[in-house]
Amino acid sequence: MKQKIKFINKENTHFYNTLKARVDQYFIDNHISQNANLTMVFKTIVMLSLYFVPYTIYFTIHLLIFMDMTGISTVK
């Protein structure tokens, strides 16, 4: 018979409590917000743009080529 796997409740371990206290203290000592600041928002926008802009350009070009090949025109 197989033995059941049991996970330890993370709130009841000494490691979790110590780690959380140290991380919280790090943010307090360095006067850093635990939430995202403007720099993080800017980085997120840049990274998403680096993904979506080329994707959009690629499919727009292919759509225009397809429309040209089939005789579909957007301008009359």
* Res 75: pLDDT: 63
| Residue 37 covered by a domain | yes
pLDDT digits (tens, 9 = 90+) for 44-61: 999 999 999 999 999 999
Domain that holds residue 26: 10-70
| Residue 17 covered by a domain | yes
* Res 14: pLDDT: 85
Residuewise pLDDT in 10s, the chain (76 residues)? 688 887 777 667 788 888 999 999 999 999 988 888 899 999 999 999 999 999 999 999 998 888 888 887 666 6
Report how many domains make up the chain.
Answer: 1
* Res 23: pLDDT: 95
Burial of 53-76, coded b for 16+ CB within 10 Å and e otherwise, reads eeeeeeeeeeeeeeeeeeeeeeee
| Residue 41 covered by a domain | yes
| Residue 22 covered by a domain | yes
| Residue 2 covered by a domain | no
